[in-house]
Structure 1
Amino acid sequence: IVGGSGIGGLAAAALLAKAGWRVLVLEQHGKLGGCCHTFTEKGFEFDTGIHYVGQMQEGSLMRFLVDQLTDGQLEWAPLPATYDAVVLGDPQGSGKTFHIHSGEREYFWRLKEQFPGEAAAIDEFQRLVKSAGRGVVLLGILKLLPRFLARLLTCSRLLPRLCSFSQLASRSLKEVVDGLTPNPELRAVLSYIFPTYGVLPSKASFSMHSILVNHFLHGAWYPKGGAGEIAFHTIPVIRRAGGNVFGKAPVQRILLDAQGRACGVSVRKGQDSVDILAPVVISDAGIFNTYERLLPAEARALPEIQSQLHMLAPGEGGFTVFVGLSGSREELGLEPINYFMFPGNDLDGIMQRYLASSREEAANNIPLLFVTSPSAKDPTWEMRHPGKSTLAIVTFARYEWFEEWKDKQVHKRGDDYEDLKKTFVDAIMQTVYKLYPRIEGRIEYLSGGSPLTNQHYLASPHGEFYGADHGIPRLQAEAIATLRADTAVPNLYLTGQDLCLGGFMGALQGAIICASTILKRNLYADVAWLKLRLQATDPKKGD
C-alpha cells in the first residue's frame, strides 16, 4: 500500500509494479497526482506544482526512466533556449532583465556577455557548481548503503575531504556568491533560482543550489497536455500489474501488528473507517505527516524516529495566484519562459524583511514573484482551449500569517481571511501588470491560494510546497544518511520529497531509493543497464 499519489508515491508504485508487485495507492484528495494534478475553474485549466523540469533531454537516464514509468506515453515540450529571465527592479522603470540560457557552455558564456568584466567570477561559479554536481551521487549512496557503512562514512569525517558536494554543503549560497564578486546584480543572478527549493540565500546550502543549476543546464521541459498527464500515464502501469489507485481515500493511521511491524492502513470511508492489510506500507505523505499524524504514539516515540524529526523542520509556506485570461498567447503577449521578479538586488535582505513582517505589512513587502504561463508552454493548449490563456504566480508566505483560520472549513473561512488573501493578490497583480500590460481588462478568473490552501489540498503541514526545509542542516552527510527509505518501524518505508529532495526530480529520486530498498537491488544500475541493452538492440529505444 502506498499512501499519497504525488510523483514519489506513483513512481514508487510503478517501479514495484514493473517488478511484478500488486500495489494499491490511496490518495486523500479527489484529484490524483499530488503537486502534479491539474484543476479546472470557470473553464480554465491550472497546474498546481509542475512549472518546468530539467534533465528531460532525449538520451538522458531520467528521461529514459520516466518513459519506462509511463510506457513512453508522456511527451515533453522543450522550453525556449532562454527558459528563465531574472528581473531586478521595476520592469517598466529602471529595472534590468537578465536571461538564463540552456547549454553547458552557453549558460555561463551568456552570463559573461551580460556581465562584461566578471568572467573570473563566473568561471569560478561554474567550477564550484560542476564540482558540487559531481558529488550529488552521494545522496543516493548514503541512503542505499547498509546502515553501518553509511554511519561509518559520516563518522569518519572523510567525506568533506574527498567530496566537494559534502564540503560545499556546509557553506551558504550567500557566503559563496558574495566571495566571488562585489557586483550586486551578478550576485543576484547567480542566486536567482533559490525559490525553486524554498530557502533564502543565507540559509541555503551551496550544494543544494548547485543541484538546481546543474539540473537545468541542458534546458527545461514541460509535459505536453499539462502536469495532469504525468499521473494519467503512470496509473495504467500500476493497474496493469493488478494494482489500483483511488482518490478520496484518506489514510487515517498506519496499522501495526503485535510485534510493532506495519501491516496495513486505516482509511476513512464516509463516517466510518476501513482497515486494509498489506505486507509493505509506503508513505508519500511527508515525514511530519507520516510520523506525527499517521503512526501510533508508541512508534512515534522510537528514538530513531524522534532523531529524524529533530533533524528536520517544515519548509516555508507558499502563496499562488491563478489567473484565467480571455485571449490567445499572441494577443496577450505571453511568453513560454519563467520570470523571477525581485524588487531589488539584495535578495537575502528583501526576503528577510518580508518574512519578519507582520501579516498586515507583508503584502507591501513581497520580495519575489515567479511568473509563468502554463498555457504558453504547452503546445497542445491552443487546440484544447482556444482563445484562453493562463498565468500562475508563486511567492512565499508565512503559515503563521494565516494560521488563525486553519480550523475553519475550506471556502468558509470568513471575510477577514478573504480580505487578507486579496491584499496579497492585489499587490502581486500590480507587479504582473508591469510585466504583461496587455492582460489588464482580460481577466476572467482570479484566485489566490494561501498556505492553508496548500495544507488542505496537498496535506502539507505548514502550507509548504517542497516538504521539509532544504536548508544547510538537511544537506549534511549525517542527515542524508539518517533519513532513509526503511524506517524504524519494520515494513514501513518513506518515499518522495522528504526522503531525497524537493520538486519533481527530487521526489522521483525518493521513489527510486524507496523501491531499491524494498526490492534489495540498485534500481539506478538496473535502469542504466536496461537503457544500454535497449540501445544495443534498438538505438531509438535507448534514446
Structure 2
Amino acid sequence: MKKYDAIIIGSGLGGLTCGATLAKKGKKVLVLEQHNLIGGCATCFSRKGMLVDAGLHEIDFGTPEMDQKHYIFDQLGLWEKVNFIPLPTAWSIQVGDQHYTIPHKNTAQALKKMFPHESRGIDRYFKMMKLQTKKVVRFPFEMKFFSFFFAPITTLPFLLYNAITNRTTGKILDDCIKDSKLKRILNINIVYYHHDPYKFIWSFHAIPQYNYYTQGMYVKGGSQALSNAIASIITEGGGEVRTKSDVTDILLEGNKAIGVRYIDKKSKEEVEVYADCVVANCDPMIVYQTLLPQNRSYAKDLQITKNFPITTSLISIYMIFDKNPNDLYSDMDYSTFIVNPTNFEKDFKESDCENMSYEEMDFVFVNYSKVDSGLSDREDRHLGVITTYGKYEDWDLDKESYQNKKAEVKKILEDRLEKAFPGIMAHCIHSELSTPKTIQRYIRTRKGTPYGYDQNQEGYIGRERFKSKTIKNLYFASAFGFPGGGFTGAILTGFRTGRKILDPYAWPRKLALCVLFGFGISKAIELILRSL
C-alpha cells in the first residue's frame, strides 16, 4: 500500500503552503480536499462567462527586508509561477462628498498634507508600524546566525514587551493621534480582520498595514491562480492533490497519527491512506470532535481550542457588470471604502461595528477592472465586490428568514453603492450575497470565520499550536494557527508548520550553537585580557 510522508486535510493556503514546503525538500505529500476546487477561500468560481474571486481583494506586499513572503516565495520557487499585479493606490475613502486617496510609498507625507495638525503623530505611528514589522520579518528558526545570536538583545525584549502589554490598535492610535477622523482613516480596512479596534491586537494591524502602504498586489487570474501554483509545487515534487475527497477519520496507532480514511465522492468508495504525519488544514474543532476517535480524551488540546473567541466573519456581494466601471467613473479606485458621514463624525471609541446596522456600517467596493486582473476576456464582463463585517449570529436563522434577510441586506448595500456611484446598478447583470453561513458551508469553520480565532492576543499564545499535545505526528496549518488569518497569515502559518516538520530541532540547534559561540568568544576575551 502506498505510503506518504505527509497527508494534508484541506487545501487552503495554509495546507498548500505547508505541502509545498515539504515537497521542495523531497517529501511525498498527499492533499485531500472535500470540495471540487482547491484553495479554500483562495478560489474562483464562474458566473456569467467570467471568473469571480471568492476571497482575494489584494495582498499586502512590503519590501524583502520587511515582508517574509519574499523569503517564502524564494524558497518555494513561486515567483515564476504567479503574476502579481501592482495596484494603483492603497485605497480610497469616500465619505459623502469628501474623498481621500491613500497612496503607496509616500503615504505618511500624503496624510500629513490632509491632516497637517497631526504631522508628529503620523510620524510616530509610521515609526511604530515599521519597528513592529521589522522585528518579526523572520521566524527565529529562519534567522541568520548572528541575527539569532543577538536576538536576546535586539528582538526578544521587544516581543516579550508586546506579549505582556498586549497593546491594541485602538490604544496605539489614541496614543499617536488625536483627530478621530484620521484614526478612522488609518483603521479603515479593519473589516478585513476584526470589528473592534480596542480588541484588535496592534501587531496584526501594523504588519499588513505597513506592507499595504508599501505596495498592494493582486494575482492575475485570481486567487485560484495562486492556489493552483502552490499545488503545482506539490505535484511536481511527486505528490498528489485530490479533490472531492472528504476525510472522515484520522487513523491512530496508539497515540500516534498514521493516516486517514476518506470518502472518494466520485467513486463513492471509502479509502484509507497512510503517512508519517497528518496535517490538519481545517478548523481544529473538526479534528477533535469529528475526525479523531471519540472514545478517548483530548483535554490538553481542547482546552486551547475552546479558549479563543470567534466573532469575525464577512458578508460579500459578488457583482458582475456589463460595462467597465472605469468608463463610467474615471476617478473610481481599485478599492473604495464607502463610509456613512454620520458614522465618520463619531468619536473613534465608537468604532466597534459588531452591533451596527448595515445602513451605517462601512464597506469596501473592489473594482477588479482597475487592473489587468485576468478574470475576464470579455469587454462586457467586469467584477465588482462589496465586502463588510459579518457576524454569524445575525444569520443563524430559519430558511425563510435567512433568505429574506439576504435580500434585505443586499438591497441596503447596493442602494448605498448606487448613491456613491450614481447609475452603477443599471449595469449590474448579476449579484449574489455570501454570508458567514455561506463560508461555514464552504470551508466548514465555526461561525463561518475565514480568519480563524479573533486576533485579540499578541504572539503564538493567542493561536492554535502547530502540533497536537496529545496525538503524535498530528500537526495544524491553517488560519487558526500562528501568526494568524488572511492570505499572508495563512501562507506564513503553512510555511512555519512545514519547516518545523522538516527540522523540529532547528531552534534548539541554533540555540546550542549560539551558546557554544558565546562561550568561545568569552574564553577568547579572557585569554586576551590575561595576556595584557
| Partner in structure 1 of residue 511 of structure 2 | none
Could you tell me which amino acid in structure 1 is paired with residue 371 of structure 2? K
Residue 404 (structure 1) shift: 2.7
Q: Deviations over 1:214-234 (max 9, x none)?
A: 221321111112211112222
In 2, Cα distance between equivalents of 1:167 and 1:38? 37
Superposed, which structure 2 residues align to 1:358-507 within 5 Å?
A: 362-365=357-360, 367-381=361-375, 384-405=377-398, 413=399, 415-471=400-456, 473=457, 475-476=458-459, 478-479=461-462, 483-485=465-467, 487-500=469-482, 501-507=484-490
| Partner in structure 2 of residue 527 of structure 1 | none
Structure 2 unaligned segments of length 5 or more: list them. 1-6, 144-150, 508-532
**1:10 aligns to 2:16 (yes or no):** yes
CA pair 143-426 structure 1, distance change in 2 beyond 3 A:
farther
Residue 35 (structure 1) shift: 1.2
**1:222 aligns to 2:200 (yes or no):** no
Q: Deviations over 1:277-322 (max 9, x none)?
A: 22211111133333333233356x3343023114322241211101
- Residues 487 and 493 of structure 1 are in contact (CA less than 8 Å); yes or no, is this contact kept in structure 2? no
In 2, Cα distance between equivalents of 1:167 and 1:112? 31
| Partner in structure 1 of residue 70 of structure 2 | 63
Superposed, which structure 2 residues align to 1:211-360 within 5 Å?
A: 211-257=207-253, 259-270=254-265, 273-297=270-294, 301-333=297-329, 335-343=332-340, 344-345=343-344, 346=346, 352=352, 354-356=353-355
Could you tell me which amino acid in structure 2 is paired with residue 287 of structure 1? P
Q: Deviations over 1:435-470 (max 9, x none)?
A: 332422111101001111111112222111211111
- Residues 261 and 489 of structure 1 are in contact (CA less than 8 Å); yes or no, is this contact kept in structure 2? yes
Residue 125 (structure 1) shift: 0.9
CA pair 124-167 structure 1, distance change in 2 beyond 3 A:
farther
Query: Alignment partner for residue 35 of structure 2, among 29, 34, 46?
Result: 29
Residue 491 (structure 1) shift: 0.8
CA pair 378-435 structure 1, distance change in 2 beyond 3 A:
farther
| Partner in structure 1 of residue 500 of structure 2 | 517
In 2, Cα distance between equivalents of 1:324 and 1:281? 40
Residue 351 (structure 1) shift: 5.2
**1:73 aligns to 2:73 (yes or no):** no
In 1, Cα distance between equivalents of 2:502 and 2:402? 47
| Partner in structure 2 of residue 102 of structure 1 | 104
CA pair 307-30 structure 1, distance change in 2 beyond 3 A:
same
TM-score of the superposed pair, with normalisation by structure 2: 0.83
In 2, Cα distance between equivalents of 1:380 and 1:210? 30
- RMSD of aligned C-alpha atoms? 3.0
CA pair 161-515 structure 1, distance change in 2 beyond 3 A:
closer
Secondary structure at 1:339's aligned position in 2?
Answer: strand
Residue 256 (structure 1) shift: 1.4
Could you tell me which amino acid in structure 2 is paired with residue 284 of structure 1? N
Residue 521 (structure 1) shift: 6.2
CA pair 396-219 structure 1, distance change in 2 beyond 3 A:
same
In 1, Cα distance between equivalents of 2:157 and 2:277? 39
- Residues 288 and 298 of structure 2 are in contact (CA less than 8 Å); yes or no, is this contact kept in structure 1? no
CA pair 169-243 structure 1, distance change in 2 beyond 3 A:
farther
- Residues 92 and 333 of structure 2 are in contact (CA less than 8 Å); yes or no, is this contact kept in structure 1? no
CA pair 254-347 structure 1, distance change in 2 beyond 3 A:
farther
Residue 432 (structure 1) shift: 1.2
Q: Deviations over 1:239-287 (max 9, x none)?
A: 1222111111121222211x11111112123565322222211111133
Could you tell me which amino acid in structure 2 is paired with residue 75 of structure 1? N
Residue 350 (structure 1) shift: 5.6
In 1, Cα distance between equivalents of 2:461 and 2:176? 28
In 1, Cα distance between equivalents of 2:187 and 2:62? 23
Superposed, which structure 2 residues align to 1:27-176 within 5 Å?
A: 27-55=33-61, 62-63=69-70, 65-66=72-73, 68-70=76-78, 72-80=80-88, 82-87=89-94, 89-90=95-96, 93=97, 96-103=98-105, 106-137=106-137, 140-141=139-140, 161-163=157-159, 166=162, 170-176=166-172
Could you tell me which amino acid in structure 2 is paired with residue 401 of structure 1? D
Residue 183 (structure 1) shift: 1.2
In 1, Cα distance between equivalents of 2:496 and 2:82? 22
Structure (1 or 2) with the larger CA radius of gyration: 2
Between 459-468 and 501-510, the greater mean CA deviation after superposition = 459-468
CA pair 385-291 structure 1, distance change in 2 beyond 3 A:
farther
Q: Deviations over 1:48-70 (max 9, x none)?
A: 11111122668976235336343
In 1, Cα distance between equivalents of 2:225 and 2:460? 35
Could you tell me which amino acid in structure 2 is paired with residue 113 of structure 1? K
Could you tell me which amino acid in structure 2 is paired with residue 440 of structure 1? M
Between 285-294 and 204-213, the greater mean CA deviation after superposition = 285-294
Residue 364 (structure 1) shift: 3.7
Secondary structure at 1:175's aligned position in 2?
Answer: helix
In 2, Cα distance between equivalents of 1:522 and 1:53? 32
Residue 385 (structure 1) shift: 2.5
Residue 212 (structure 1) shift: 1.9
- Residues 168 and 205 of structure 1 are in contact (CA less than 8 Å); yes or no, is this contact kept in structure 2? no
Between 430-439 and 4-13, the greater mean CA deviation after superposition = 430-439
Could you tell me which amino acid in structure 1 is paired with residue 397 of structure 2? E
In 1, Cα distance between equivalents of 2:472 and 2:284? 16
CA pair 142-426 structure 1, distance change in 2 beyond 3 A:
farther
Structure 1 unaligned segments of length 5 or more: list them. 145-152, 406-412, 525-543
In 1, Cα distance between equivalents of 2:222 and 2:414? 24
Q: Deviations over 1:61-116 (max 9, x none)?
A: 62353363436121111001x221123x32xx4xx32222211xx12111101111
In 2, Cα distance between equivalents of 1:142 and 1:240? 26
TM-score of the superposed pair, with normalisation by structure 1: 0.82
- Residues 168 and 206 of structure 1 are in contact (CA less than 8 Å); yes or no, is this contact kept in structure 2? no
Secondary structure at 2:205's aligned position in 1?
Answer: helix
CA pair 331-203 structure 1, distance change in 2 beyond 3 A:
same
CA pair 355-347 structure 1, distance change in 2 beyond 3 A:
farther
